[in-house]
Amino acid sequence: MVLDRYRKAADRILVPVASRMLRTNPNAVSWVAFLAAVGAGLGFFVGGGGFLGLALLLILVNAYLDALDGKIAKMAGKASSRGDFLDHVLDRYADVFMIGGIAFSAYCDLRVGTLALLGVLLTSYMGTQAQAVGQGRRYAGLLGRADRLVLLFVGARSCLRRRRSAGESLRSRSSPSNGSWSSSPSWATRRPCNAASRRGAASRARQRSRRSPRAGGARGPSPDSTTADA
């Protein structure tokens, strides 16, 4: 992986914690990391500012614990093929939940998310298949699991920042201090004005109806009355 060269730098934050957890079962740490990945996927799927922030936190927890379980196993002498198998299986399910949560969310096109998920699973399958036929497992290359976690974190953080900026701009446009309410009054403020205008129109119509007989009398007698007098 691209970040494989930074393994020694990561040991600075892994070794002190792993040395205090030598009695802990590494498989239990792997399960906790998997649960964190499930929570991150659900946070992506539900969406919203709070759930995106929770997904960011759980991605960091998953990434740290996924590296910590192997370090504990090596330092405590508990490394085994069974533990390695469990770690790989849980990692694949973790990828499914996290990338699937993004794929089925409102932040991603389902077709693009499905292709990304298929690419991750096929890449991992080819790595394990090469290991099964005796070619060994190589973690070098582009977009390993650590790289994918970093990309997920960066993408989720950018979405969260855009969401916050959009919310701030929306609140600034709807604030009464900038006069936007006076230029576009709500329905509640327009209704009294409309009612008053209707009452005024009705009052003027009644006044015109009252004045019309007087106006006719002022113009003089009608032709029918003149003919009858003659």
**pLDDT for the residue 43:** 92
State the virtual CA torsion across 34, 38, 40, 41 in degrees, nearest 10. 130
For 22, the token pair is 């030598």
pTM above 0.75, yes or no: no
**pLDDT for the residue 81:** 87
Question: Does 2-169 carry CATH code 1.20.120.1760?
Answer: yes
**pLDDT for the residue 94:** 94
What DSSP designation does 48 have?
S
For 195, the token pair is 């009612």
Closest CA to 152 of 66, 31, 86: 66
Q: Average pLDDT per run of 10 along the chain, which is 230 residues long?
A: 61 90 94 96 87 90 92 92 90 92 88 88 80 70 73 79 68 55 39 52 72 52 46
Instruction: Name the amino acid, one letter, at 191.
Output: R
How far apart are alpha carbons 91 and 84 in whole angstroms?
11
